[in-house]
Structure 1
Amino acid sequence: MPTIELTAADGHVLSAYTAGPPEAKAGLVVVQEIFGVNRHMRRVCDDFAAAGYAVVSPALFDRAERGTELGYEGGDIQRGLGLRGQIDPGKTLLDILAAAAALPRGLKRGIVGYCWGGTIAWHGATRSSAFSASVGWYGGGIAAARDEKPTCPVQLHFGETDGSIPMTDVEAIRQAQPGVEVFVYPGAGHGFGCEERGSYVPADAARAQERTLAFFAAHLG
């Protein structure tokens, strides 16, 4: 498995999955769901690599428990939420900045995240100047931070029937951030882009990925 070790600014050492061609046109930090850098996240990374991007996906759970990969059944959600709850959001920002620094020098850098990672991608855009573009898929914490000012273009994706992100939250984000692209997928729930979840909607996942790639092509070159 193509993994590397990163060292964050506070000295924390974490692992990261990497992918991408030597001649990559730009770099992406890909941020995990609450299930770790698991099989699904590695597939997501590989898809971006196939599109020509250098990719680094940091193992954010390493701050609480090293080497954790969860599935989508039984107690996996509660375990993932528990691990996330042990991690200071400020420390998570240090980890994504370490991942950004590990991308090849000279490339424009973007960030894309899913679920928990969708919120972190928003924080990457508003709490750092490390990225030239940010995309968040169903980030549940974005509404609470909707008044923060992005330092780069942002695109967001939500499912209309997401039980954890009501449409009132999405509308609040739109009102607070008129310059942000916001897409809502009718009838889709949380995790509609994950092929290992019961909420997976292939057509919506493909459309959201198409929009994501077009957005990065426009802003990362």
Structure 2
Amino acid sequence: MKKDIQLTTSDQHSLNAYEHAPTNALAGLVVLQEIFGVNPHIRQVCDKFAAQGYHVISPALFDRVERNISLGYEPEDMQRGLNIRAKISPEKTLSDVIAAAEHLPYDKIGIVGYCWGGSLSWRAATETKLFSAASCWYGAMIPSLLDHPPHCPVQMHFGELDHSIPLDAIDKIRQAYKDNNGVDIYVYKNAEHGFGCQARSSFNSEAYELAQQRTLDLFAKNL
């Protein structure tokens, strides 16, 4: 069943979320948006994971500033998304993510995020103990969030040609976790930022298919 629901956080903030709960799901999954809101693409991402048997929820992280945000991928959409994101503290956003996880009635919960959501997935894996696996797609803030080890297995997926996440930044992550076998870092040749989004001009089907399969394998093993 697919529906829009309401969540309440620990600070009594009410936010929307998109939920897709297939029959007989065995594990939960939190899907975190890009800076474009819980738009049709993110809903489609949720539906694809639900088709794999996961009870999926995607919290509307922009609701603290403006509700019902669903943006496209034009430059003006990107600027609007960046402006909204700048108005929300990381701590508030993390509490929204926690509320989504606590809504799911499972012992094992995974998390996957894209762009802004990729960075937030990493924060959720390092700053909470709610998740059993995390997949972080092109999270540009991850290199500045290396103070804490993750509490679950983590995958990171980066594009070789992503100008917002240069290769030396990825090397910084590798160095920080070179002795941590729970962090797997993948760099996809000829892939740009947003390579996993079919609605963007940077979509790379080969990179997407491989990163998606690796993500599914991670969840199959740990959830």
Match of 1:142 in 2: 142
* Kept in 1: contact 2:6–2:17 (CA 8 A): yes
CA distance in 2, matches of 1:86, 1:118: 19
Q: Does 1:187 align with 2:190?
A: yes
Distance 2:106 2:130 in 1: 13
Matched to 1:169, the amino acid is A
Determine if the alignment matches structure 1 residue 203 to structure 2 residue 206: yes
Q: Residues 2 and 18 of structure 1 are in contact (CA less than 8 Å); yes or no, is this contact kept in structure 2?
A: yes
Structure 1 residue 147, shift from structure 2 partner? 2.9
Q: Would you say the 8 A contact 2:159–2:189 is kept in 1?
A: yes
2:21 aligned with 1:29: no
Residues 25 and 107, structure 1, Cα contact 8 Å, conserved in 2: no
- Tell me the distance in 1 between the aligned counterparts of 2:24 and 2:117: 27
Distance in 2 (alpha carbons) for counterparts of 1:165 and 1:198: 18
Q: 1-side partners of 2:66 and 2:177: how far apart?
A: 35
CA drift of 1:107 comes to 3.5
Q: CA deviation at 1:73?
A: 1.0
Tell me which residue corresponds to 1:94. 95
Q: Secondary structure at the match of 1:164?
A: coil
Q: Distance in 1 between matches of 2:21 and 2:4?
A: 12
Judge conservation of contact 1:20–1:50 (CA < 8 Å) in 2.
no
- Per the TM alignment, residue 11 of structure 1 is displaced from its structure 2 partner at its CA by 0.5
C-alpha distance in structure 2 between counterparts of 1:175 and 1:65, whole Å: 39
How many residue pairs end up in the alignment? 219
Identical amino acids, percent of aligned pairs: 54
* Partner in structure 2 of residue 133 of structure 1: 133
Question: CA contact under 8 A between 2:35 and 2:81: conserved in structure 1?
Answer: yes
Three-state SS of the structure 2 residue aligned to 1:47 is helix
Matches within 5 A, 1:34-183: 34-103=35-104, 105-178=105-178, 179=181, 180-183=183-186
CA contact under 8 A between 2:28 and 2:106: conserved in structure 1?
Answer: no
* RMSD over equivalenced CA pairs, Å: 0.9
Deviations 1:164-195 (A, max 9, x none): 00001111001101221000001100000000
Report the more deviating stretch, 112-121 or 13-22: 13-22
Distance 1:187 1:82 in 2: 29
State the SS of the aligned residue for 2:17: strand
Deviation at 1:145, TM superposition (A): 0.5
- Structure 2 counterpart of 1:48, one-letter code: F
With the length of structure 2 as denominator, give the TM-score of the two structures.
0.96
* Unmatched tracts of structure 1, length 5 or more: none
User: What SS does the aligned partner of 2:23 have?
Assistant: coil
Amino acid across the alignment from 1:182: I
Q: How far is 1:74 from its partner?
A: 3.3
TM-score for both structures, normalised by structure 1: 0.97
**How far did residue 25 of structure 1 move?**
1.5
Long gaps (5+) in structure 2: none
Say if 2:46 and 2:58, in contact at 8 Å, map to a contact too. Answer: yes
User: What displacement does 1:20 show?
Assistant: 2.7
Return the offset for 1:129: 0.6
Q: Tell me what 1:218 maps to.
A: 221
Match of 1:33, as an amino acid? E
- Runs of 4+ in structure 1 off by over 4 angstroms are none
Q: Which amino acid aligns with 1:75?
A: E
